[in-house]
Amino acid sequence: MAKVHYVTEEGLQRLRAELEQMKNVERPAISRQIAEARDKGDLSENAEYDAAKDAQGLLEMKISKLENMVATARVLDESRIDLSQVQILTKVKIKNVATKAIMEYTLVTETEANIKEGKLAVGTPIAQALLGKKKGEVVEVQVPSGIIKFEILNISK
């Protein structure tokens, strides 16, 4: 059985758009490159042809992977989020106990993670330590440089 990929509605739309881009824009462009390289003659010594065929293989692999992700995607219901504890799709405000630095992250699936947007993948050590915890709790996170303590200040949508 295929692995289920949990995504938000926004994440699923992004995956579908990326898949359409690959199928309708990038695939025809690579086909044209292959045709142009083929028209140049001897294929045994044609580096352009080899490069285009390699690019085509990589693109087809990416398309196949995205098609699988879209087919096995399950949209998370944001209306059923319990704000009494940290879970996927919750926004959590935390304070580093040692440095007093305050950070805010939304816990999302691996495919939607983007630290610049404050979206932290649930598989990261910080997110794993926060999952299931409540406001006011202090969690310890094991990182390569040691243990960091975070206090959960707030949980919201």
CA 28 to chain centre: 26
For the stretch 115-146, pLDDT in tens is 899 999 988 888 899 988 999 999 998 888 88
Pick the CATH number of 5-75 from 1.20.1260.10, 3.40.50.300, 1.20.1250.20, 1.10.287.180: 1.10.287.180
Model pLDDT, residue 20: 95
- In whole numbers, what is the pLDDT of the chain averaged over residues? 87
d(CA 141, CA 103): 15
Domain ranges of the chain: 5-75, 78-156
Model pLDDT, residue 2: 60
pLDDT at 1 over 60: no
d(CA 53, CA 56): 5
Count of other CB atoms within 10 angstroms of residue 143: 10
Q: Which two tokens stand for residue 146?
A: 């040691």
**CATH 3.40.190.10 fits domain 78-156:** no
For the stretch 32-71, pLDDT in tens is 988 888 887 776 677 888 888 899 999 999 999 999 988 8
CA 125 to chain centre: 16
Q: Match 């490159």 to its residue by tokens.
A: 33
29: Cβ–Cβ under 8 A, 6 or more apart, which residues? none
Q: For 78-105, what is the mean pLDDT?
A: 87
Q: Which H or E run includes 108? A: strand 102-108
Residue 40 identity = K
pLDDT at 86 over 80: yes
